[in-house]
Amino acid sequence: MVFLALIRARRARRTRAKDISEAFAILEKSLHNAFPDLPEGFTWKEVVSRLKSLGITKLDWWEIENTLKKYEAFRYGGIEYSNINVQSILRLANSLPRGVSFAARSQSQSAG
Amino acid sequence: MYPLLQDLRVKVLDEVNKVVIGREKEASLLLTCLLARGHVLLEGVPGTSKTLLAKTFAKCLGLTFKRVQFTPDMLPLDIVGGFIFNMKNREFEFKQGPVFTNLLLADEINRAAPKVQSALLEAMQELQVTVEGFTSKLPSPFMVIATQNPLDFEGVYPLPESEKDRFMVRVIFDYPETSIESEILKRNLMEMSVEEVHTVVTSEDLQQMFRVVDSIRVTDEILDYLSKIAKETRTDSRVNLGASPRAMVQLVHCARANAALEGRNYITPDDVKKLAPYVLAHRMRLDRSATLKGLATTPEIIVQQVLDAVKPPR
């Protein structure tokens, strides 16, 4: 466990992104590796909601959701924020679980 | 204005909840549709509070309201109005039909013959009525809330495709859950009437809200995303008739209204994904041969699969 944590910490330190768009691109790549069943039509909000339900406690979900809100405002609303926390997205990219199905919950959500 | 719009949703849901229980999602869709200047088709078995919801909704928004019960012997003139000879001045005068209102409840629309259903086409699309060359504008806002029974019921006519395409969204009314049904029974032991509902918005504010919705930003990437969704519904082998260009235009307007109600001045792909099943499913016609081949499916499932397959801008 300690060994795994060390590897993850090193990986997190090495991952760099020059801006928020690159951070989300890194997250997308990590998501495809972690969830082979990830549908092509996913949105960031769906991803965050699904990952939150997995109970990864060490992440600051408020910060992640806040960053996502600012990213969407920039991406679709043309609003630029100076204080976007790129690190919260990179930390999320480095904390993705393995061997979990992505679709299991999203299908039940759409049915409901 | 955005906080005002968010506030409006809360107030409308509170007022509706005084009379109609457990229909928050449906009431929210009605409000979205009104702000997007669209019309709504409510589908469900009798007794699931479709009519009551429409009446309550009109009351809390302070809209003029008229109800028409559609029957098989109805004529188009019964809806749009017509020329009547005035004996005093010996001239024909146009007498407005019930369509001249802010909110028209077309109750059990599929009980009338197709020609009567079609009488609403011009009103719904062009917000005007033409009778014998005489054109008259409808009041603003104008919204049709039509209710219809499922097609396997006795004495119902299917809506023509062109008519279905005019409805921005279709909302299916299922039976309420057990806990909600108990609450409905409990509430009905007391006198509950639409009179209890208060108007929560002025007509000036409502007009301003329409302008806010019109100003919501839509990026080119979102428009491309919508075009891809439309193409996917049209090329699916299980579908005979996919989403029309009008459907996609209405989806954009609906997504704009949803964004405004959530306090944003821009659309995200989530707005599109949230509303697409309501906007697209009722317009799609499945290929019967696909059903015969054992590909048992519904338009709702196909829309969901299309949304899962088409990559949104990220």
Q: Assign residue B154 the CATH number of its domain.
A: 3.40.50.300
Distances (CA, A) of B98 to B125, B154, B168, B295: 17, 26, 21, 44
Instruction: Give yes or no for residue B202 having a pLDDT over 50.
Output: yes
Of residues A61 and B157, which shows the higher confidence score? A61
Token code pair at residue B202: 């002025």
For B151, counting Cβ atoms within 10 Å of its Cβ (0-12 exposed, 13-18 middle, 19+ buried), the class is: exposed
**What confidence score (pLDDT) does residue B61 get?**
93
Tell me: do B60 and B186 sit in the same domain.
yes
Tell me if B196 is assigned to some domain. Answer: no
Tell me if B9 is assigned to some domain. Answer: no
CB neighbours of B97 closer than 8 A, spacing ≥ 6? B77, B78, B79, B80, B81, B82, B129
- A45 to B267: CB separation less than 8 angstroms, yes or no: no
Instruction: Please check whether residue A86 is in contact with residue A20, taking contact to mean a CB–CB distance below 8 angstroms.
Output: yes
- The shortest CB-CB distance from A41 to any of B217, B219, B308 is to B308
Chain B stretch 212-231, residues whose beta carbon is closer than 8 A to a beta carbon of chain A: 217, 219, 222
Query: What string of pLDDT tens digits covers the 112 residues of chain A?
Result: 566 666 565 555 556 788 899 999 999 999 998 988 899 999 999 999 989 888 777 889 999 999 999 999 999 998 888 788 889 999 999 988 877 787 755 444 443 3
- The shortest CB-CB distance from B265 to any of A40, A43, A77 is to A77
Tell me: do B268 and B229 sit in the same domain.
yes
- The shortest CB-CB distance from B266 to any of A42, A45, A77 is to A77
- A24 to B273: CB separation less than 8 angstroms, yes or no: no
Tell me: do B69 and B134 sit in the same domain.
yes
Instruction: Give yes or no for residue B142 having a pLDDT over 90.
Output: yes
Chain B stretch 238-277, residues whose beta carbon is closer than 8 A to a beta carbon of chain A: 264-270, 273
Q: pLDDT (tens digit, 9 = 90+) per residue, B249-277?
A: 999 999 999 999 999 999 999 999 999 99
- B305 pLDDT tier (thresholds 50, 70, 90): very high
**What confidence score (pLDDT) does residue A111 get?**
37
Contacts of A73 in chain B (CB under 8 A): 264, 266
Tell me if B105 is assigned to some domain. Answer: yes
**What confidence score (pLDDT) does residue A31 get?**
92
Per the structure, the count of domains in chain B is 2
Tell me: do B53 and B177 sit in the same domain.
yes
- A43 to B311: CB separation less than 8 angstroms, yes or no: no
Instruction: Give yes or no for residue B186 having a pLDDT over 80.
Output: no
Tell me: do B147 and B244 sit in the same domain.
no
Q: Domain holding B280: CATH number?
A: 1.10.8.80
pLDDT above 70 covers a percentage of chain B that reads: 96
**What confidence score (pLDDT) does residue B198 get?**
92
What are B305-310's contacts with CB under 8 Å, separation 24+?
A: B306/B229, B306/B232, B306/B233, B306/B236, B307/A41, B307/B229, B307/B273, B307/B276, B307/B277, B308/A39, B308/A40, B308/A41, B309/A39, B309/A40, B309/A41, B309/B232, B310/A40, B310/A41, B310/B225, B310/B228, B310/B229, B310/B232
Q: pLDDT (tens digit, 9 = 90+) per residue, B38-50?
A: 999 999 888 888 8
Tell me: do B48 and B164 sit in the same domain.
yes
Tell me: do B184 and B221 sit in the same domain.
no
Tell me: do B110 and B167 sit in the same domain.
yes
- B269 to A77: CB separation less than 8 angstroms, yes or no: no
Tell me: do B152 and B281 sit in the same domain.
no
Contacts of B177 in chain A (CB under 8 A): none
Tell me if B210 is assigned to some domain. Answer: no
Tell me: do B172 and B243 sit in the same domain.
no
**What confidence score (pLDDT) does residue A57 get?**
72
Q: What is the DSSP code string of chain B?
A: -HHHHHHHHHHHHHHHHHHS-S-HHHHHHHHHHHHTT--EEEEE-TTSSHHHHHHHHHHHTT--EEEEE--TT--THHHHEEEEEETTTTEEEEEE-TTSSSEEEEETGGGS-HHHHHTTHHHHHHSEEEETTEEEEPPSS-EEEEEE--TTSTT--PPPHHHHHH-SEEEEEPPPPHHHHHHHHHHHTS---GGGPPP-S-HHHHHHHHHHHHT-B--HHHHHHHHHHHHHHHH-TTEEE---HHHHHHHHHHHHHHHHHTT-SB--HHHHHHHHHHHHGGG-EE-HHHHHTT----HHHHHHHHHHHSPPP-
Tell me if B36 is assigned to some domain. Answer: yes
Instruction: Please check whether residue B26 is in contact with residue B173, taking contact to mean a CB–CB distance below 8 angstroms.
Output: yes
Out of A88-97, B138-147, B185-194, least confident range: B185-194
- B307 in contact with A at a CB cutoff of 8 Å? yes
User: What domain range is B80 assigned to?
Assistant: 25-191
Tell me if B103 is assigned to some domain. Answer: yes
Tell me: do B185 and B222 sit in the same domain.
no
Segment B103-111 mean pLDDT: 91
Tell me if B12 is assigned to some domain. Answer: no
Tell me: do B77 and B183 sit in the same domain.
yes
* Residue B78: Cβ within 10 Å count: 18
